[in-house]
Amino acid sequence: MFVDRLLDAAERLARFPRSGRIIPEIGDPHSREMIFGAYRVMYHVERDAVIIVSVVHGARHWPPG
């Protein structure tokens, strides 16, 4: 199931939090994204945690506005 595979991929971020690229629109090294299929999984790296802040389809304009 898609959601299960997405969750598995997101759990890997706990072990490798800097494996995603820096989000180009933000440029902050703590704000990163992992590409999963057609989706951008955007997350923030804290000292002892990874916080997923958004999952956005790649066809959507981001940031909205």
Length of the chain: 65
Full domain range(s) for residue 36: 2-57
Q: Name the domain count of the chain.
A: 1
**Cα atoms found within 13 Å of the Cα of residue 50, Cβ hemisphere only:** 21
pTM score, two decimals?
Answer: 0.86
The helix (H) or strand (E) run that includes residue 50 is: strand 50-57
- Tell me the CA distances in angstroms from 56 to 14, 15, 20, 27, 47, one per residue in order: 20, 22, 15, 18, 24
- Asked if residue 65 is part of any domain, the answer here is no
Encode pLDDT of 2-49 as tens digits: 889 988 988 899 899 999 999 999 999 999 999 999 999 999 999 889
The CA distance from 33 to 40, in Å, is 6
- Asked if residue 63 is part of any domain, the answer here is no
